[in-house]
Amino acid sequence: MQTIIEPFRIKSVEPLEQTTPAERERYLEQAGYNLFRIEAGKILIDLLTDSGTSAMSTEQWAAVMRGDESYAGSNSFFRLKRAVDELTGFRHMVPTHQGRAAERILFTVTCKPGDLIPSNTHFDTTRANIEFVGARAVDLPLPEAADTQARLDFKGNMDVAALEALVRKEGPQKIPLVMLTVTNNSGGGQPVSLANIEAVRGVCANYGIPLYLDACRFAENAWFIHQRELGYQAWAPKQIAQRMFSLADGCTFSAKKDAFANIGGFLCTNDDRLAQQETNLLILTEGFPTYGGLAGRDLEAIAVGLEEVLEPDYLQYRITSTGYLGRHIADRGVPIVEPPGGHAIYIDAAKMLPHIPADQFPGQALAVELYRHAGIRSVEIGSVMFGAAARHELLRLAIPRRVYTQSHIDYVVEAILEVNERKRNICGMEIVKEPPFLRHFSARFRPLAC
Ligand SMILES: *Cc1c(COP(=O)(O)O)cnc(C)c1O
């Protein structure tokens, strides 16, 4: 059979509510043209994020009922620990309430002011947590990745020569660790090859620097390796994931992505001394080490999700359906980051709306227009999110896992193509109010005339 179907059937449904264009205009005004500020009930198709928005399986819900809510030594913790051990092989694991809590703990115990943390591309919360402790987040993507149209198999890779040059220039003592984000979220959801992880590990090993994975989408990355990297076609996604983790000294993980959980995360390390410091900080701010800010039922859902996400049928459907959205809009003239990534399609808003300069936020203008037109929520990844550090002006359409069917995605395709037809009428935006950190979550905008 040629048709790749959703490898599940639906047992419980959640109604979607339509809104009128006039209602949507009012909601936009009230929200300061920031889609994070709009009530979810007023959204028809929510592609804001794939984070925490997955549909859980029957097995996960069954595991939720088995959650052991003991304060200390919960069975659910040991269930999760076994799942993480088997997958990653890391010596120490502490649960955290989500990925950024793992980041905050890791960078608090490893960084001092003036330090540098290189990455292929830092995610927004990762960058913010590094900067919060006075260190500098350095992105070292491939130079070719700057071209959103370049179709590279592993466009999420780190520029290994740039890493080597940075370590030589700054000295390894200023670099407490190197991070690799798999897949490279801010870089377009693009995968990182095993060869690149090995090469980065090689540089790290030469200079005695630990390598950490920001492993939020490890399974999607493993699937791309299975499909595209020479020599791994016969490897199961799980074996590939195990190989990826075996090259690192630790990881941060948001269970809200590739564990189909609605909340949760963890931090792993092989360093006994660090693990002790991390545990001390965990107790101070997250909770006792066997629950780390989560309920026992959450730990169970994550443990089951870590296994389900590596099933080949699921990964094939997941990556194919993301590509389906990408191909259907790109082949009709909407510029996307090529090739389609794992969890999201990124429209190149600067290319689509060349009449809107970066300081008038073309990605934000497009996000607003797509909501206004069809009730679809997406998110700007560009100058609003990263300020002057932004490399591109993108609009991300993130696909929640196991949530929307192909007809939902067909609706999204139609809406985007209609907006593209009259894109010359879309005008820029200006910021009227913003907070000091992570401004995209709460800034207020005003539409400009054009
Ligand atoms: C989501 C995400 C994080 C942060 O995780 P949260 O659970 O949202 O705190 C970190 N890195 C990457 C690559 C992510 O996608």
Got the DSSP string for 407-447?
A: HHHHHHHHHHHHHHHTGGG---EEEEE--SSSGGGT-EEEE
Task: Give the separation between CA 249 and CA 28, rounded to whole angstroms.
Answer: 45
For ligand 1, pick from 120, 185, 385 the residue to mutate: most ligand atoms within 8 Å of CB: 185
For ligand 1, pick from 97, 257, 399 the residue to mutate: most ligand atoms within 8 Å of CB: 257
Q: How far is the CA of 423 from the centre of ligand 1 (A)?
A: 32
Q: How far is the CA of 218 from the centre of ligand 1 (A)?
A: 12
pLDDT the model gives residue 42: 97
Q: How far is the CA of 142 from the centre of ligand 1 (A)?
A: 21
Task: Give the residues surrounding ligand 1 with Cβ less than 6 Å away.
Answer: 51, 98-100, 123, 125-126, 181, 185, 214, 216, 254, 256-257, 265
Local mean pLDDT, 10-residue blocks, the chain (450 residues): 91 96 98 97 97 98 98 97 98 97 98 98 92 96 93 97 98 98 87 98 98 98 98 98 98 98 98 97 95 97 98 97 97 96 96 96 98 97 87 94 96 98 96 87 92
- The structure tokens listed for 146 are 């700057």
pLDDT the model gives residue 386: 83
Distance of CA 72 to the CA centre of its chain: 31
CA 325, 330, 336, 339 dihedral sign is positive
H or E element: which one contains 78? helix 75-88
Q: Which residue has the tokens 């993480």?
A: 84
Q: How far is the CA of 217 from the centre of ligand 1 (A)?
A: 9
Note whether 157 and 138 are within 8 A (CB): no
DSSP for residue 41: G
User: pLDDT tens, 307-342?
Assistant: 999 999 999 999 999 999 999 999 999 999 999 999
For ligand 1, pick from 124, 192, 214 the residue to mutate: most ligand atoms within 8 Å of CB: 214
- The structure tokens listed for 329 are 């809009």
Q: Determine how many CB atoms are found less than 10 A away from the CB of residue 6.
A: 15
Pick the residue whose CA is nearest to atom 8 on ligand 1.
Answer: 99
For ligand 1, pick from 96, 117, 125, 252 the residue to mutate: most ligand atoms within 8 Å of CB: 125
Q: Which residue has the tokens 């809510």?
A: 69
Cβ contacts of 109 within 8 Å, gap of 6 or more: 274, 277, 278, 281
Q: How far is the CA of 225 from the centre of ligand 1 (A)?
A: 21
Cross-strand pairs, 139: 119
Pick the residue whose CA is nearest to atom 5 on ligand 1.
Answer: 99
Please state the atom number of ligand 1 nearest to the C-alpha of residue 186: 13
Domains of the chain: 21-50+312-447 (3.90.1150.10), 58-308 (3.40.640.10)
Nearest CA to 342 among 237, 226, 188, 228? 188
Note whether 100 and 79 are within 8 A (CB): no
Q: How far is the CA of 398 from the centre of ligand 1 (A)?
A: 13
* Per-residue CA distances from 408 to 16, 44, 46, 317, 337 (Å): 11, 10, 10, 15, 21
